[in-house]
Chains A and B, each alone.
Chain A
Amino acid sequence: MLLFDQGPIETTNYMILGYAVIFGVMLIYLVSLYLRRRRLKQDLQVFEEIDKKGQ
């Protein structure tokens, strides 16, 4: 009863921390997908050139 009389507890900082982790990790994963794709495209180009020269 006492808890309700006092209203919700102050937890804004925890909410900010929680969403910083959620958005931060998602962003890191998206960047990792982009970077891996870029690196693979470069590798593919290099290997295709080597393959053509070898034929």
Chain B
Amino acid sequence: MQPKPRTLQILDLVTVLFFLAAVGMVFFYAPLEAVMGQVQRVFYFHVATAWVGMLGFLVAAIAGVAYLVKQDRKWDIVGLSAVEISLVFFFIAIVSGSIWAKPSWGTWWTWEPRLTTAAIVELVYAAYLLLRQGLEDPERRARFGAVYAILGFISVPLTFISIRLFRTIHPVVVGSGAAAFDMSPAMLQTFLFSLWTFSLVFADLLWHRIRLGRLAERVEALKLKIND
């Protein structure tokens, strides 16, 4: 059993400190939004969790390519880990968005392009985990996971650009030009700090999940050896 590396211990600590600072900024530094009131504070972590979701799906697609090229199982563990973390954070983004939508739009859910494509992405990657479980052979499972992660990633940029392609009630935050989401400097600082913090959270969790994956692989290999 490998002990936790010193770098990971430092990353854990830095991540916790940044996370606490981000929470502090959201509740005590960012001003109250003039129309929506307190619920607008959900925006900072809502976008940050959606960002982590998309980032992880991208990492999984890259790991998929790396696996197909190098045939090294470590890339399968990276891909699986990234998808699992992203599923959790994308789920948070969908649910927190729904909670924000209720007082803003008057409904918990509407089948507009962003929400619909986000729900599809979540289902696509939930299926990835379910289908993997049905495959016993580790090599076949890794190959399937790699191809699925690459093809599944097509749904991610589609979600990102959906609010730019279609008429929708969902606000455009990044690269929005004239239809910019109006933020004061303190709001923008809190928003960017939250994005950075959640990127750190992702890196930290990914490292932990990869370690867990390696441990699972050792247990599986030993189990197969004993059964033989």
Measuring CB to CB, which residues of chain A are less than 8 angstroms from any residue of chain B?
A: 3-4, 7-12, 14-15, 17-19, 21-22, 25-26, 29, 33, 36-37, 40-41, 43-44, 47-48, 50-51, 54
Contact = CB atoms under 8 A, between A and B. Distances in A.
7 contacts: A10-B37, A11-B103, A14-B99, A21-B99, A25-B88, A26-B88, A40-B215
Nearest to A9: B37
B138 to A, nearest CB: 16
B222 A51 contact: yes
Given A8-B33, A15-B38, A51-B226, 10 more contacts: A11-B36, A11-B37, A12-B37, A12-B38, A17-B99, A18-B45, A18-B99, A40-B215, A40-B219, A54-B226
What 5 A-B pairs have minimum CB-CB distances, sorted nearest first?
Answer: A8-B37, A11-B39, A18-B42, A15-B38, A14-B39
A47 to B, nearest CB: 4
A33 B208 contact: yes
B38 A11 contact: yes
Nearest to B46: A18
Interface in B50-104: 85, 88, 91-92, 95-96, 99-100, 102-103
Nearest to A20: B99
Interface in B153-182: none
Contacts of A51: 222, 225-226
Which residue of A11, A19, A50 has the most chain B CB atoms within 10 A of its CB atom?
A: A11
A22 B35 contact: no
A44 B218 contact: yes
B76 to A, nearest CB: 17
B208 to A, nearest CB: 6
Nearest to A47: B222
Which residue of B49, B211, B226 has the most chain A CB atoms within 10 A of its CB atom?
A: B226
B34 A8 contact: yes
A22 B92 contact: yes
B5 to A, nearest CB: 15
Contacts of B226: 47, 50-51, 54
A4 B35 contact: yes
B114 interface: no
B200 to A, nearest CB: 13
B124 to A, nearest CB: 19
Interface in B197-220: 205, 208-209, 211-212, 215-216, 218-219
B135 to A, nearest CB: 19
